[in-house]
C-alpha cells in the first residue's frame, strides 16, 4: 500500500494545469484556464481549470475534481495507479510496503484491468528486448527498420519491437512471470485452439506499440516481413478491455504537444507514415491505422487541434479514403485540408525524400481546401454525364451540410453552384435535404445548417453526481471509474438534500443559533449532529463525509476546510467539494439601493437556508419511512393471519408517530404535502 506521506506529497506537488494540459489544450482566461471538456463532446469550451485552487470543473457536464480524480476518470485508473503516475511524473519516491507485492492475497486483490496494464507493459518490454538483443530480432527486425531509414533514437521513441517465429514464445515467458493464459488471451496477445492450446498472436513480425494518452501500451500492430501472399501483411490487436480501435489514434501520445503548439495535425493511414514523418521533423502527425475515421477519433483530435490536413496515397484508393473521413471531421467543427500526393508515392516515401523545412514547405504549399478538392475530383470524374454530375453534387452537398459556420457554409454553396453552373437555390435545397437525411440517421449529433436559431442537443447531465460508497480512512482505497459515476437522481432520492445540508454545514456549521427550547445557544453542528447521524442516508459517501465532519468537530473543534476537501484522496469528496466551491452566487452590492430591498448579511441568509434544508431533509426521510411502513402494513394484512398479525399494532403506532412528525415539520415550514 502507498503510505499516507507519499499521497500527501503527491497532492501538494501535482499542478492541476500541467496534469490536465497533457490531455486538453488550455487557454488562459483571467485566473483560470479554459478548454474543451474531455468527458463529453462539446464545441464551445466549458471545461475550466483553476490552478490557484487545484481543481477542474466542467460547466457543461458537471465533471469536477482534482488532479488525481482527473487521471482516474480520464485514463480509467485506480486510485493507487493515479497516485503512482503522478509520483513518477514529479519524481516523488513512493513509500510502499514491498512485502505486499509477494503476498498472494494482495495479488488476488489487484483488479483485472490492473493486471492487463501490467501485462501489456511486460509484452512491450519483451518485444523490445528481442529487437535489440536477440539474434533473430537484430538480424531481421532491427535490420528492417534501419533499411527503412529509421534512426535508433526513433526506434526507441516509438518503442518498436520484434516477435519470434516460435509458436508460444511470449506465452511461455509471460506465464513464467505469473500471468495466466486467460489474461494473455483477454489482452489480445494470445490465441487458443482446440488442438494447439494457447499460442502467440504475433509471430515473426516487427511490432508497433499503440499507446494510450497516459503513455501506457494498449495494443500492437504487427507487420510480417515475409513475401507469402497467404499471410496477412498487417495484423492488429483485437478489441480488448484496454484497446478500442475506434477510440485510438496511432502516434497521438507522441504528437499531442506538437499538435497543440501548431494548432493543426497531419492525418495519415499507416504506422510507418507517422514514424517517418515524425523523424523528418513533422511531429504533429497521427494515423487512423488504415480504417475509416470514427466520431470518437475526430473528437480526440479536436481536443488538441482545430485543423486537420489529410495526407493520403496518390492512388484512387487513397483519395477515396480521404473523402470518407471528411464529413466526420466537419461534424466536429474541424477545418479540413487535403494533400493529394503524386501517384505511387505515400507519406513514408515523401518523408524519406524530403526533410526538415523543405518537407514542411511542400506540405503547406500542397494543402488544398477539402471542398475545392472534392468538387474538382468528383466533377472531373462525372464528365458530362447528368446522373454522375447529380451524384457528385449530392456528395458535396452532404459535406456542406456538416459545416457548422453559416458564413463558410454559404461560401461553399456559392462556389459549388458556380463550378456546377446551377442556381444557388438548387444547391441550397440539396444541402437542406442532406441535412434532414443526416439528422434522421443521427438526430443527436446533427445541427440545423439552415436555421441558425435551432437548439443544439444537450451534451451531458450537469446533475450527475460522483458519489461512490467508500471509506475515507483507507489510503489504499481502490475505486474504478464505474464507482465514481452514478445514475441520474431519481424523483424519490434524498441526494439533493443530503449534499446540500453537508455543503451548508461546512460553510456555517460553527455558527451559533438560539436553542428553540429556550436553552443555551448552541452551534448548528451540535444542534443537528444527533439527528443527522440517526438518519438513513441514500449516499454512503455523504454519510461518510458527515462522520468525517462530526469527528473533526468533536476532536478539534473545527470543520474540514475547502482546500482539504478539494484535494481529498476520496474523489467523490473532491468532486462534491469542487462543485460546492465553484457554484456560489453573489448579490450585487447595489441591489438594495437599486430595488429598495434590504439584504441580510450572508450568514443570516445561510442560517435560514440551512434550517430550511434541514427541515426538507427530515421531511423527505419521514415521508419515505412512512411509505415503507404503510407498504409493510399492507403486506402483513394479506398474510393468513390478516389483521390479527401481532406486528400490526406496532406498525400502526409507528405510522401515527411519523404522521405527527410530518405534521410538525409542515406546520413549521409551511410546506404542503399532497397524498
Helix (H, G, I), strand (E, B) or coil at 444: coil
Query: Grid coordinates representing 484?
Result: 465514481
What is the rounded average pLDDT of the residues 530-538? 74
Of residues 256 and 473, more confidence is placed in 256
Residue 367, Cβ density class (10 Å: 0-12 exposed, 13-18 middle, ≥19 buried):
buried
Cross-strand pairs, 198: 192
Residue 454 has pLDDT above 50, yes or no: no
pTM: 0.64
What is the rounded average pLDDT of the residues 522-539? 76
Residue 463 is predicted with a pLDDT of: 31
Residue 646 has pLDDT above 80, yes or no: no
117-147 pLDDT, tens per residue?
A: 999 999 999 999 999 999 999 999 999 999 9
> Could you give the angle at which helices 406-420 and 424-441 cross, rounded to 10 degrees?
120
Residue 662 in contact with residue 673, Cβ under 8 Å? yes
User: Can you tell me which residue has the cell 407498504?
Assistant: 631
Query: Grid coordinates representing 400?
Result: 456542406
Question: Are β-strands 307-312 and 264-268 bridged in parallel, bridged antiparallel, or unpaired?
Answer: parallel
Task: Return the sign of the alpha-carbon dihedral for residues 175, 179, 184, 187.
Answer: negative
Residue 154 in contact with residue 278, Cβ under 8 Å? yes
Give strand ranges (E) for 124-204.
161-162, 190-193, 197-200
Superfamily of domain 111-243: DNA primase, catalytic core, N-terminal domain (3.90.980.10)
What is the rounded average pLDDT of the residues 175-197? 91
Backbone conformation region of residue 54, classed left if phi is above 0, alpha if psi is from -120 to 50, else beta:
left
Hey, how many other C-beta atoms are within 10 angstroms of the C-beta on 583? Answer: 12
192-244 pLDDT, tens per residue?
A: 987 778 999 999 999 999 998 878 899 999 999 988 777 889 999 999 989 98
Residue 557 is predicted with a pLDDT of: 81
Q: What are the boundaries of each domain within the chain?
A: 4-100, 111-243, 256-441, 591-669
Hey, how many other C-beta atoms are within 10 angstroms of the C-beta on 513? Answer: 16
Whole-angstrom distance, CA of residue 172 vs CA of residue 9 = 40
362-386 pLDDT, tens per residue?
A: 999 999 998 888 888 888 888 888 8
Residue 574 has pLDDT above 80, yes or no: no
Residue 436 has pLDDT above 60, yes or no: yes
Residue 170 is predicted with a pLDDT of: 96
Whole-angstrom distance, CA of residue 300 vs CA of residue 294 = 10
Query: Does the domain formed by 256-441 have CATH 2.40.50.100?
Result: no
10-30 pLDDT, tens per residue?
A: 887 888 888 898 888 888 888
Residue 471 is predicted with a pLDDT of: 32
249-258, 309-318, 364-373: least confidently modelled range: 309-318
Residue 125 is predicted with a pLDDT of: 96
Question: Are β-strands 264-268 and 234-236 bridged in parallel, bridged antiparallel, or unpaired?
Answer: unpaired
Residue 455 is predicted with a pLDDT of: 31
Give phi and psi for 494, each to the nearest 5. Answer: -95, 10
Residue 39 is predicted with a pLDDT of: 87
Question: Are β-strands 64-65 and 55-58 bridged in parallel, bridged antiparallel, or unpaired?
Answer: antiparallel
DSSP state of 245: G
19-28, 319-328, 474-483: least confidently modelled range: 474-483
What is the rounded average pLDDT of the residues 331-335? 87
Residue 464 is predicted with a pLDDT of: 32
pLDDT band at 389, cuts 50/70/90?
Answer: confident
Cα–chain center distance at 589: 40
Give phi and psi for 150, each to the nearest 5. Answer: -85, 135
User: Can you tell me which residue has the cell 503512482?
Assistant: 84
Whole-angstrom distance, CA of residue 196 vs CA of residue 158 = 33
Q: What percent of the chain has pLDDT over 90?
A: 25
Residue 459 is predicted with a pLDDT of: 34
Residue 602 is predicted with a pLDDT of: 45
Superfamily of domain 4-100: Zinc finger, CHC2-typedomain (3.90.580.10)
Residue 317 has pLDDT above 70, yes or no: no
Whole-angstrom distance, CA of residue 330 vs CA of residue 308 = 10
Task: Give which of 473, 466, 502 is closest to 569, Cα–Cα.
Answer: 473
Mean pLDDT, rounded, of the chain: 78
pLDDT band at 483, cuts 50/70/90?
Answer: very low
Contacts (Cβ under 8 Å, ≥6 apart) of 84 = 2, 94
Helix (H, G, I), strand (E, B) or coil at 491: coil
User: Can you tell me which residue has the cell 494515423?
Assistant: 287
Residue 491 has pLDDT above 70, yes or no: no
Amino acid at each position: 500500500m502507498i503510505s499516507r506521506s507519499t499521497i500527501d506529497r503527491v497532492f501538494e506537488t501535482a499542478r492541476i494545469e500541467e496534469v490536465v494540459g497533457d490531455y486538453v489544450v488550455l487557454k488562459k482566461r483571467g485566473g483560470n484556464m479554459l478548454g474543451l471538456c474531455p468527458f463529453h463532446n462539446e464545441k464551445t469550451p466549458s471545461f475550466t481549470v483553476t490552478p490557484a485552487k487545484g481543481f477542474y470543473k466542467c460547466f457543461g457536464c458537471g465533471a469536477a475534481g482534482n488532479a488525481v480524480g482527473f487521471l482516474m476518470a480520464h485514463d480509467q485508473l485506480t486510485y493507487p495507479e493515479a497516485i503512482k503516475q503522478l509520483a513518477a511524473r514529479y519524481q516523488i519516491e513512493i513509500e510502499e510496503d514491498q512485502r505486499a507485492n509477494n503476498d498472494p492475497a494482495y495479488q488476488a486483490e489487484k483488479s483485472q484491468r490492473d493486471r492487463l496494464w501490467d501485462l501489456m507493459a511486460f509484452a512491450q518490454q519483451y518485444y523490445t528486448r528481442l529487437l535489440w538483443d536477440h539474434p533473430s530480432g537484430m538480424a531481421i527486425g532491427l535490420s528492417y527498420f534501419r533499411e527503412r531509414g529509421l534512426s535508433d533514437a526513433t526506434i526507441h521513441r516509438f518503442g518498436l519491437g520484434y516477435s519470434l517465429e516460435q509458436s508460444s514464445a511470449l506465452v511461455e515467458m509471460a506465464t513464467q512471470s505469473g500471468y495466466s493464459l486467460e489474461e494473455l488471451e483477454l489482452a489480445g496477445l494470445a490465441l487458443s485452439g482446440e488442438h494447439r492450446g494457447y499460442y502467440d498472436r504475433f509471430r515473426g513480425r516487427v511490432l508497433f506499440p499503440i499507446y494510450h494518452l497516459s503513455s501506457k501500451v494498449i495494443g500492437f500492430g504487427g507487420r510480417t516481413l515475409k513475401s507469402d501472399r497467404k499471410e496477412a501483411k498487417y495484423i492488429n490487436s483485437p478489441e480488448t478491455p484496454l484497446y478500442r480501435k475506434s477510440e485510438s489514434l496511432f502516434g497521438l501520445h507522441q504528437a499531442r504537444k506538437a499538435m497543440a503548439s501548431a494548432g493543426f495535425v497531419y492525418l495519415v493511414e499507416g504506422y510507418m507514415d507517422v514514424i517517418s514523418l515524425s523523424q523528418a521533423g513533422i511531429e504533429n502527425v497521427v494515423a487512423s491505422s488504415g480504417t475509416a475515421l470514427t466520431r470518437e477519433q475526430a473528437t480526440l483530435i479536436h481536443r488538441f487541434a482545430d485543423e486537420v490536413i489529410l495526407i493520403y496515397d496518390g492512388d484512387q484508393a487513397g483519395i477515396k479514403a480521404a473523402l470518407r473521413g471528411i464529413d466526420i471531421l466537419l461534424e466536429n467543427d474541424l477545418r479540413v485540408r487535403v494533400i493529394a500526393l503524386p501517384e505511387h508515392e505515400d507519406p513514408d516515401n515523401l518523408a524519406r525524400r524530403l526533410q526538415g523545412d523543405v518537407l514542411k514547405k511542400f506540405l503547406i504549399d500542397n494543402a488544398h481546401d477539402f471542398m475545392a478538392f472534392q468538387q474538382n475530383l468528383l466533377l472531373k470524374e462525372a464528365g458530362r454525364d447528368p446522373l454522375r454530375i447529380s451524384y457528385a453534387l449530392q456528395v458535396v452537398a452532404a459535406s456542406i451540410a456538416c459545416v457548422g459556420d453559416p458564413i463558410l457554409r454559404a461560401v461553399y454553396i456559392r462556389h459549388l453552384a458556380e463550378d456546377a453552373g446551377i442556381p444557388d437555390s438548387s444547391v441550397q435545397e440539396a444541402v437542406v435535404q442532406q441535412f434532414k437525411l443526416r439528422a434522421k440517421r443521427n438526430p443527436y449529433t446533427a445541427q440545423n445548417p439552415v436555421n441558425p436559431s435551432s437548439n443544439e442537443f444537450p451534451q451531458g447531465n450537469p446533475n450527475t453526481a460522483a458519489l461512490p460508497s467508500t471509506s475515507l480512512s483507507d489510503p489504499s482505497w481502490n475505486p474504478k471509474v464505474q464507482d465514481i459515476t452514478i445514475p441520474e437522481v431519481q424523483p424519490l432520492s434524498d441526494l439533493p438534500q443530503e449534499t446540500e445540508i453537508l455543503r451548508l454545514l461546512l460553510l456555517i456549521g460553527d455558527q451559533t443559533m438560539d436553542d428553540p427550547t429556550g436553552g443555551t445557544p448552541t452551534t448548528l453542528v451540535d444542534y443537528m449532529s444527533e439527528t443527522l447521524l440517526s438518519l438513513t442516508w441514500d449516499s454512503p459517501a455523504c454519510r461518510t463525509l458527515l462522520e468525517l465532519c462530526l469527528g473533526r468537530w468533536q476532536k478539534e473543534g473545527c470543520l474540514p476546510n475547502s482546500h482539504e476537501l478539494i484535494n481529498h484522496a476520496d474523489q467523490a469528496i473532491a468532486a462534491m467539494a469542487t462543485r460546492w466551491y465553484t457554484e456560489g452566487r453573489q448579490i450585487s452590492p447595489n441591489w438594495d439601493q437599486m430595488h429598495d430591498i434590504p439584504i441580510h448579511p450572508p450568514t443570516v441568509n445561510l442560517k435560514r437556508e440551512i434550517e430550511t434544508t434541514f427541515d426538507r431533509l427530515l421531511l423527505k426521510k419521514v415521508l419515505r419511512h412512512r411509505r415503507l411502513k404503510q407498504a409493510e402494513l399492507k403486506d402483513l394484512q394479506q398474510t393468513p393471519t390478516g389483521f390479527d398479525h401481532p406486528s400490526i399494532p406496532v406498525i400502526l403506532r409507528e405510522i401515527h408517530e411519523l404522521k405527527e412528525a410530518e405534521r410538525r415539520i409542515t406546520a413549521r415550514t409551511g410546506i404542503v404535502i399532497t397524498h
